[in-house]
C-alpha cells in the first residue's frame, strides 16, 4: 500500500504518456506512478530514462504490463495492481493509435484499420476503465479520470471551412489522399462521448472526469515522424506532459466534464 498519490497511465513508455511520467516525476509532489506498457522491457527502459532526467525525484515507479486491445491483458493488469495496492487515485487513459497510415500504405484494409483504431482508442479504453473502476472508487482523495483525446476530435473544427484541414478535392473518384486522419479523429470524437458518459455515471461518486486535448505535439503518433510534425508547427511533447500534470494536481478541477486544452476549452 502506498501513501503517495497513485497514478496509472496507459501507453506510458512512449509519446505523451512518457512525458506525463516525466512531468509527474519532476513535480514537488511525490507520486507512485504505474507505468502501463505492452512490454515490461520498454516500461523498465522508460523508468530508467525518467530517473536519469529527474535524479532527485521523490516519486516511485512500477511497470504494469497492459495491452488495452486485450481483455485478458487488462484482467491480468488489474490483478497485478491489486496484489500490492488497495486503490488508484488517478487513471489516465492515454494509450492510443492512429491507423490511417496503415490504410495509405496498404498494410490494412479500411475496415481492418478502422476496427483496430476503435478497438484501442474507444473499446479498449472503455474496458480498461470499467475494469479498474473499483480501484479508482477506493481512492481516499479526489479520484480523477482522464481521457487523452485530440484537437482533431472537434466536430466544430472539422466543419470549419477556414481550417487548414478543411479541403475540398476535385470532383470525381478516386479522391486524392489528404492529411485528415479521419479514422483516428473519428475514434477520438467517440472517446469524448465516452468521457461524457463516465462524467454522468460518476458524478455522485465525486470522481472528476475530463477529456484532455494536449495540443499539436511532435510525438511518434501516426508514424509521421516527430521532425516532420515539427516542420508543420508541432510543439514539444513535454508541453502536453506538463499540462496533464496540472490537471492531476487540481489546477483544472473547475473544468471537469469538458474537453479541455491548455488555453481553455476545445469546441465540441
d(CA 250, CA 1): 23
Tell me what pLDDT residue 215 has: 66
> Does residue 74 register a pLDDT over 90?
yes
Which among 95, 87, 80 has a CA at the least distance from the CA of 188?
95
Determine which of 56-60, 106-110, 138-142, 228-232 has the lowest per-residue pLDDT on average.
228-232
What mean pLDDT comes out for the span 78-98?
97
What's the fold here for domain 5-162+176-265?
Rossmann fold (3.40.50)
> Does residue 226 register a pLDDT over 70?
no
Share of the chain above pLDDT 90, in %: 78
pLDDT bracket for residue 1 (50, 70, 90): low
Q: Is 123 a catalytic residue?
A: no
> Does residue 263 register a pLDDT over 80?
yes
Tell me what pLDDT residue 179 has: 60
What is the 8-class DSSP label of residue 42? H
What angle do helix axes 125-137 and 71-82 make, rounded to 10 degrees?
A: 20
Q: What would the pLDDT profile of 28-47 be if each residue is shown by its tens digit?
A: 999 999 999 999 999 999 99
d(CA 146, CA 246): 12
User: What CA–CA distances, in Å, run from 71 to 38, 93, 95, 120, 128?
Assistant: 13, 15, 15, 11, 8
d(CA 216, CA 150): 8
> Does residue 238 register a pLDDT over 60?
yes
Q: Is 150 a catalytic residue?
A: yes
- CA–CA–CA angle 244, 232, 192 (5° rounding): 40
Among candidate residues 139, 184, 211, 213, the one labeled active-site is: 184
Q: What would the pLDDT profile of 188-202 be if each residue is shown by its tens digit?
A: 999 999 999 999 999
Among candidate residues 22, 188, 208, 258, the one labeled active-site is: 188
Determine which of 164-168, 215-219, 263-267 has the lowest per-residue pLDDT on average.
215-219
3-state SS assignment for residue 149: coil
Tell me what pLDDT residue 228 has: 59
> Does residue 203 register a pLDDT over 80?
yes
Cα-Cα end-to-end distance for the chain: 39
* DSSP letters for 109-141: -HHHHHHHHHIIIIIIHHHHHHHHHHHHHT-SS
Tell me what pLDDT residue 216 has: 62
d(CA 247, CA 228): 29
Tell me what pLDDT residue 83 has: 97
Among candidate residues 37, 59, 139, 150, the one labeled active-site is: 150
User: What CA–CA distances, in Å, run from 115 to 29, 86, 95, 119, 126?
Assistant: 40, 34, 16, 6, 15
Report domain extents, the chain: 5-162+176-265
Tell me what pLDDT residue 223 has: 54
Give the pTM: 0.93
Q: Is 4 a catalytic residue?
A: no
Amino acid at each position: 500500500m502506498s501513501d503517495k498519490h497513485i497514478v496509472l497511465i496507459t501507453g506510458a513508455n512512449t509519446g505523451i504518456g512518457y512525458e506525463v511520467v516525466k512531468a509527474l516525476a519532476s513535480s514537488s509532489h511525490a507520486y507512485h506512478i504505474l507505468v502501463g506498457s505492452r512490454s515490461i522491457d520498454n516500461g523498465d527502459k522508460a523508468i530508467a530514462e525518467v530517473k536519469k532526467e529527474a535524479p532527485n525525484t521523490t516519486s516511485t515507479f512500477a511497470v504494469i504490463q497492459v495491452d488495452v486491445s486485450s481483455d485478458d491483458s487488462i484482467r491480468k493488469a488489474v490483478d497485478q495492481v491489486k496484489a500490492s495496492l488497495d486503490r488508484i487515485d488517478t487513471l489516465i487513459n492515454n494509450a492510443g493509435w492512429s491507423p490511417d497510415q496503415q490504410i495509405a500504405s496498404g498494410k490494412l484494409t479500411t475496415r481492418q484499420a478502422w476496427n483496430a483504431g476503435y478497438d484501442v482508442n474507444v473499446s479498449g479504453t472503455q474496458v480498461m476503465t470499467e475494469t479498474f473502476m473499483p480501484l479508482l472508487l477506493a481512492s481516499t482523495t479526489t479520484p480523477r479520470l482522464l481521457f487523452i483525446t485530440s484537437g482533431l476530435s472537434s466536430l466544430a473544427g472539422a466543419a470549419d471551412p477556414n481550417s487548414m484541414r478543411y479541403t475540398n478535392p476535385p470532383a470525381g473518384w478516386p479522391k486524392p489522399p489528404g492529411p485528415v486522419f479521419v479514422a483516428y479523429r473519428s475514434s477520438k470524437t467517440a472517446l469524448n462521448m465516452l468521457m461524457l458518459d463516465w462524467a454522468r455515471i460518476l458524478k455522485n461518486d465525486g470522481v472528476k472526469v475530463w477529456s484532455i486535448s494536449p495540443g499539436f505535439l511532435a510525438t511518434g503518433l501516426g508514424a509521421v515522424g516527430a521532425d516532420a510534425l515539427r516542420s508543420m508547427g508541432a510543439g514539444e511533447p513535454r508541453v502536453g506532459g506538463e499540462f496533464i500534470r496540472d490537471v492531476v494536481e487540481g489546477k483544472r478541477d473547475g473544468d471537469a466534464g469538458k474537453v479541455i486544452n491548455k488555453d481553455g476549452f476545445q469546441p465540441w
